[in-house]
Amino acid sequence: MDPPSLEPDRLSREALAERAGVDVAAIDRLVEHGVLFPADGDEPFTQGDVHRVRFVSACELAGMPAAAIGRAIAEGRVSLSFMDLPHYRWSTLADLTYEELAERMQLPIELVLDVAQSMGSTRRLPSDRIREDELEIFPLVRLAATVFDRDALLRTARVYADAMRRIVDAEAALFEKFVLGAFVRRGMSYREAVDAANAFGAESTPLQERMVLVAYRRQQERAWNALTVEGIEGVLDEMGLYERPARPPAFAFVDLAGFTALTEQHGDEASARLAADLGHVVDRVTTEAGGKPIKWLGDGVMVHFRDPGDAVEATLEVVHRAPELGLPAHAGVAAGPAVFQDGDYFGRTVNLAARIAAVASAGQTLVSGEVVGPASGRGFAFAEMGEVELKGFGSPVPVFEASRAP
């Protein structure tokens, strides 16, 4: 499928109605109400007018009539002129339905509709027109469908959409408080503040997108390196060539229990404060025990220790203190070799620690068998929990619950 063509600079009444998904009479009505201001000529409208038509149409469904919005514009209290700025480049409707797209891409129509929904759209009908930006999605969907099953494909699409939603929600909150809010606090009217904030947004948005791409590629590098290291470890282990140090380092993962529910109930700001409080505790406790926090994972942290006993000592203390912050924590500790590159650690040991932490209950610290021997004799008790099935490990792994000896 060819990529979508660039938007024209000017649009006729008919082209504007087509791209906005309304009839021509709706365009004339918005002109009459002073929402749209056409220029002279056969193509009097702009791409910004597409966004204004769609936006005001949505506002009308929420009880804000176009006539009232036009009056606020006429009185200088509201402006929609910022929608002409270059960072307002939301997609318009393509001249193609979902059913036609499915036929063109040789994909089942239900899969096409499910992917569109999983990426954040409301449930569509086969006869609905697609957005032009969706033309960018489905070549990848067609390729992925040759490898993934349907559930895996939809699950991945939802992960992409949810991650982007959280990024954008955080950006919007910052924009409202520190950009738009800053101009209002300077004494500007709402219209003046919106125009000033959007001038800032036109410059900052391309830079934000570049930052998101850098962060994405950085995380790709981490994940792909981890998979490669674990694969090589497995091969060398099968060959009997895997050498383990006599006293291996240890890795601990500490996660807050109930963090996702807290975020959903109280928002990202409350969860960010809690994560920051956890960070202060982890920094202080692990540093005193000779550990080094390696990376923060939103609701948790990964820490490297030279000595497994130090890892158990610090992890028990952090889990003990966590309820004082507002949520309990759970942790996993594993000992063994790992590959260090660009400030991060990779390998089966790191993966094992993360998997053990994931199966631990709130208030619980679980460790691998390789931790027990080196950490013994330091006032800890290790209760055998049996062998546990862990994702990514071919056979069950012996796990122990760590606690302070009575």
- The tens digit of pLDDT for each residue in 351-402 reads 999 999 999 999 999 999 999 999 988 899 999 999 999 988 888 999 999 9
Residues 6 or more apart whose Cβ sits within 8 Å of residue 187 = none
User: What per-residue confidence (pLDDT) applies to 345?
Assistant: 87
Q: Are 98 and 128 within 8 A, CB to CB?
A: yes
Distance between CA atoms of residues 228 and 226, nearest Å: 5
Distance between CA atoms of residues 73 and 159, nearest Å: 39
User: What per-residue confidence (pLDDT) applies to 266?
Assistant: 63
Residue 169 has pLDDT above 90, yes or no: no
pLDDT single digits (tens) 83-116: 998 888 788 888 899 999 999 999 999 999 999 9
User: What per-residue confidence (pLDDT) applies to 222?
Assistant: 80
Distance between CA atoms of residues 140 and 142, nearest Å: 5
User: What per-residue confidence (pLDDT) applies to 3?
Assistant: 35
Regarding pTM above 0.85, the answer is no
Q: Does residue 46 sit in helix, strand or coil?
A: coil
For range 161-178, the mean pLDDT? 89
Residue 192 has pLDDT above 60, yes or no: yes
User: What per-residue confidence (pLDDT) applies to 341?
Assistant: 78
Residue 6 has pLDDT above 80, yes or no: no
Q: Confirm or reject CATH 1.10.1660.10 for domain 13-84, answering yes or no.
A: yes
Greater model confidence, 298 or 131: 131
pLDDT single digits (tens) 251-281: 999 988 876 666 666 666 777 777 778 888 8
Q: Which CATH architecture has domain 250-404?
A: 2-Layer Sandwich (3.30)
DSSP for 361-396, written as a single string:
PTT-EEEEHHHHHHHTTSSEEEEEEEEE--TT-SS-
- Residue in 275, 248, 255 with CA at minimum distance from that of residue 263: 275
User: What per-residue confidence (pLDDT) applies to 8?
Assistant: 46
Distance between CA atoms of residues 326 and 269, nearest Å: 14
Least confident of 35-49, 254-268, 331-345, 352-366: 254-268
Distance between CA atoms of residues 66 and 30, nearest Å: 7
**Which structure tokens are listed for 325?**
């912050």
Pairing label, strands 365-368, 329-335: parallel
Half-sphere exposure of residue 241: CA atoms within 13 angstroms, side-chain side: 6
User: What per-residue confidence (pLDDT) applies to 4?
Assistant: 37
Confidence of residue 325 (pLDDT cuts 50, 70, 90): confident
Residues 6 or more apart whose Cβ sits within 8 Å of residue 101 = 107, 112, 130, 134, 135, 138
Please state, as a whole number, how many other Cβ atoms lie within 10 Å of the Cβ of residue 9.
Answer: 8
Confidence of residue 36 (pLDDT cuts 50, 70, 90): very high
For range 126-145, the mean pLDDT? 93
What mean pLDDT is reported for the chain?
A: 88
DSSP for 60-121, written as a single string:
HHTT--HHHHHHHHHTTS---GGGGSTT-----EEEEEHHHHHHHHT--HHHHHHHHHHTTP
Going from N- to C-terminal start, the domains of the chain cover 13-84, 104-219, 250-404
Residue 233 has pLDDT above 90, yes or no: no
Q: Are 151 and 122 within 8 A, CB to CB?
A: no
Distance between CA atoms of residues 129 and 96, nearest Å: 5
Residue 198 has pLDDT above 70, yes or no: yes
- Phi and psi, residue 147, nearest 5°: -120, -45
